[in-house]
Amino acid sequence: MSFTNLRGLAAVVAVIGSGALAACSAPSHPAPKTYVVTMTNMDFSPKTLTANVGDTVQWVNKDIFRHSATAKDGSFDVDIDVGQSGSYKLTKPGNLQVVCKYHPTMTQQILVNP
Amino acid sequence: MKKIMLAAASCALIAVAGVAWAAAGPTDPQIAHIAHTAGVIDIKAGKLALKKSHNKEVLAFAQEMVRDHEAVDKQALALVAKLKVTPQDNATSQSLMKGADAEYAKLEKLSGKAFDREYAANEVAYHKTVNGALETVLIPSAHNAELKSLLETGLKLFQSHQEHAEHLAHELH
């Protein structure tokens, strides 16, 4: 191995090392969570939810009707048949208004923190 | 005095779809029959819309009506079988069916936008009637807890259908 190659290897090791150090010293971000929302008796349960970007919401349809979890801002539209579940990973902060597109009286609010 | 007596007499009667019931209201077998009839009527109207309409929104709504009402009806029939109850025909079921037959005949003669508008307008009116009956007579009169619970779920569903139908009717005008 030439001297130049050795210098290059050292640089790579240094970069990796500093990256690992930075990762260790960065403020700890909570591990992503999955929130389970039940669809039953023509309603979402819970009706309101507070989560973080990176978390996942999983809707479980325990009703006898087909439902959907549809964001009013168009960011997602998850169709969920009877006895099935569907999920969506929250990608941006905001206050999401969710509705079942088949049953507009079914609504949910998800507050997504950065 | 006569007026007061008449008012008292009318308070002792409760009406569903134009049919007056005694204060005790319909029995569980009669309620089961009314609920089944109400579902069958809307499924039949939905199937007609699926056959006649070309409007995407109307077709989606009609599919929803057929799917949801079939689901409730299936649940209701399973419940009456479990409870060993035989649904009992009654004046309210007959009145609902008579009105529905007339509306069906009217819808059959229409096409295009005229059909879509009449179907949507009737769905609004029909769900209002059924929801009113569920709220004021059928749910309060139901004795069996499981039947009452199914009717309560049905009411939430039909209220949602009414809102959807109102939105559809508005869009078509």
**SS3 (DSSP) at A23:** helix
Q: What per-residue confidence (pLDDT) applies to A30?
A: 79
Q: What per-residue confidence (pLDDT) applies to A113?
A: 96
Q: What per-residue confidence (pLDDT) applies to B15?
A: 60
Cβ-Cβ pairs closer than 8 A, A with B, add up to 38
Q: What per-residue confidence (pLDDT) applies to A88?
A: 98
Mutating which of A62, A64, A100, A106 best tests the B interface, going by the most B Cβ atoms within 10 A? A64
> What's phi and psi for A89, nearest 5 deg?
-90, 125
Inter-chain contact A64–B163, Cβ cutoff 8 Å?
no
Instruction: Please report residues of A whose CB lies closer than 8 A to that of B164.
Output: 102-104
For residue B173, name the pLDDT band (cuts at 50, 70, 90): confident
| Tens digits of pLDDT across chain A (114 residues) | 444 454 444 444 444 444 444 444 455 667 999 999 999 999 999 999 999 999 999 999 999 999 999 999 999 999 999 999 999 999 999 999 999 999 999 999 999 999
- By DSSP bridging, strand A48-52 and strand A107-113 are parallel
Instruction: Please report residues of A whose CB lies closer than 8 A to that of B167.
Output: 104
| Average predicted confidence (pLDDT) for chain B | 89
Q: Which residue has the tokens 């209220």?
A: B159
**B130 Cβ contact partners less than 8 Å away, ≥ 6 residues apart:** B38, B158
Q: Which residue has the tokens 């007339």?
A: B102
Provide the whole-model pTM: 0.79
Q: What per-residue confidence (pLDDT) applies to B24?
A: 66
pLDDT in tens, B96-128: 999 999 999 999 999 999 999 999 999 999 999
pLDDT in tens, B120-161: 999 999 999 999 999 999 999 999 999 999 999 999 999 999
**SS3 assignment for chain B:** CHHHHHHHHHHCEEEECCEEEECCCCCHHHHHHHHHHHHHHHHHHHHHHHHHCCCHHHHHHHHHHHHHHHHHHHHHHHHHHHCCCCCCCCHHHHHHHHHHHHHHHHHHCCCHHHHHHHHHHHHHHHHHHHHHHHHHHHHHHCCCHHHHHHHHHHHHHHHHHHHHHHHHHHHCC
Instruction: ipTM value, please give it.
Output: 0.77
B75, B153, B164: residue with CB nearest A104: B164
The minimum CA-CA distance between A43 and chain B, rounded to whole Å, is 9
